[in-house]
């Protein structure tokens, strides 16, 4: 079983770290206010408890999001883990893998099942991880088609003038 980290843009990392710094400042200010003024009423005690809880929980969730989100490829499925949420995509349901070189996105096109239409799952990996992910996926299921494009649109839409067999 191989794991590939979700690739977030730099500004999201920066935003997450800024939010963690803000939460640290809120925690420090709450400690200072608690020491200097104390909890004179029950409302003050509840306010301090809520501020302590949120100033610790928010950074924990943000860091879990930034560093705990991953894609896992095992023998029978691709698992997309986003903090506490997991989606499982069986390898037998993946019909095609499309790599968008321009936007560095990877799309898994799923086969249509009973009562469902064909659908795409877009993954966010950096280019080096995408190549390793694709190789791992194609090694585990040789029936998956592979295509590269510069202008992929989810939902199977192709630009005018494109042939169905281009790039295969």
**Is the Cβ–Cβ distance between 123 and 106 less than 8 Å?**
yes
Rounded (5°) CA angle 131-132-133: 90
Helices then strands, each counted (H, E), the chain: 3, 8
User: Given pLDDT bands bounded at 50, 70 and 90, which one contains residue 161?
Assistant: very low
Residue 168 exposed, middle or buried by CB count within 10 Å (0-12, 13-18, 19+): exposed
Quote the pLDDT of residue 92.
85
* pLDDT of the residue at 117: 65
Asked if residue 114 lies in contact with residue 159, where contact means CB atoms within 8 angstroms, the answer is no
> What pLDDT, on a 0 to 100 scale, did the predictor assign at position 74?
86
Summarised one tens digit per residue, pLDDT across range 57-91 is 999 999 888 888 888 888 888 888 888 888 888 88
The answer, yes or no, to whether residue 156 has pLDDT greater than 70, is: no
CA distances for 58 relative to 27, 34, 62, 67, 164, angstroms: 11, 20, 6, 14, 47
Is it the case that residue 159 has pLDDT exceeding 60? no
């Amino acid at each position: 079983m191989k794991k590939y980290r979700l690739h977030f843009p730099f500004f999201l990392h920066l935003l997450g770290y800024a939010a963690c710094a803000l939460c640290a400042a809120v925690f420090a200010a709450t400690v200072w206010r608690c020491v200097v003024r104390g909890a004179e009423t029950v409302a003050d005690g509840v306010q301090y408890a809520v501020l302590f809880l949120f100033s610790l929980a928010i950074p924990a969730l943000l860091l879990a999001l930034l560093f705990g989100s991953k894609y896992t490829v095992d023998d029978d499925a691709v698992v997309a883990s986003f903090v506490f949420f997991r989606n499982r995509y069986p390898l037998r349901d993946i019909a095609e893998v499309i790599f968008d070189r321009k936007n560095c996105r990877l799309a898994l096109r799923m086969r249509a099942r009973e009562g469902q239409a064909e659908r795409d799952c877009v993954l966010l990996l950096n280019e080096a991880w995408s190549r390793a992910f694709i190789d791992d996926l194609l090694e585990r299921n040789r029936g998956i088609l592979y295509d590269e494009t510069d202008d992929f649109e989810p939902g199977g839409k192709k630009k005018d003038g494109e042939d169905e067999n281009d790039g295969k």
